[in-house]
Amino acid sequence: MEKKRPALTTFSDDENAFRDAVRSFAESEIKPIRNKMDDESKMDRTLVKKLFEMGLMGIESPEKYGGAASTFTMACIAVEELARVDGSVSVLCDVQNTLVTNAFLKWGSESIKDKYMPQLAAQKVGAYALSESGSGSDAFALKTRAQDAGDFYEITGNKLWITNGNEADIFIVFANIDPTKGYKGITAFVIERGMSGFTVGKKEDKLGIRASSTCELLFEKCKVPKSNVLGEVGKGYKVAIETLNEGRIGIGAQMIGIAQGAYEAALGYIKTREQFGKSIAQFQGVQFQLSQMRIQLEAAKLMVYNSARLKDSGLDFIKEAAMAKYYASICSEKICSMAIDMFGGNGFTKEYPVEKFYRDAKIGQIYEGTSNMQLQTIAKMELGI
Q: Would you please indicate which residues are annotated as catalytic (active-site) residues?
A: 368
Q: Are strands 168-176 and 125-129 parallel, antiparallel or unpaired?
A: parallel
Which residue, among 127, 3, 7, has the nearest Cα to 63 in the 3D structure?
7
Residue 209, SS3 per DSSP: coil
Of 248, 284, 283, the closest CA to residue 368 belongs to 248
Identify which of 128, 105, 118 has the alpha carbon closest to the alpha carbon of residue 52.
118
CB 93 within 8 A of CB 59: no
Helix (H, G, I), strand (E, B) or coil at 234: coil
| CB contact at 8 A, 253 and 76 | yes
User: Where are any strands of DSSP class E within 104-213?
Assistant: 125-129, 145-148, 152-163, 168-176, 186-192, 198-203
159 close to 131: Cβ distance less than 8 angstroms: yes
Q: What is the DSSP letter of 28?
A: I
Q: Are strands 198-203 and 186-192 parallel, antiparallel or unpaired?
A: unpaired
Burial of 156 (0-12, 13-18, 19+ CB in 10 A): middle
Residues 232 and 356: beta-carbon distance below 8 Å: no
Question: Buried b / exposed e across 138-149, counting CB within 10 Å, b at 16+?
Answer: ebbebebbbeee
The DSSP letter of residue 348 is G
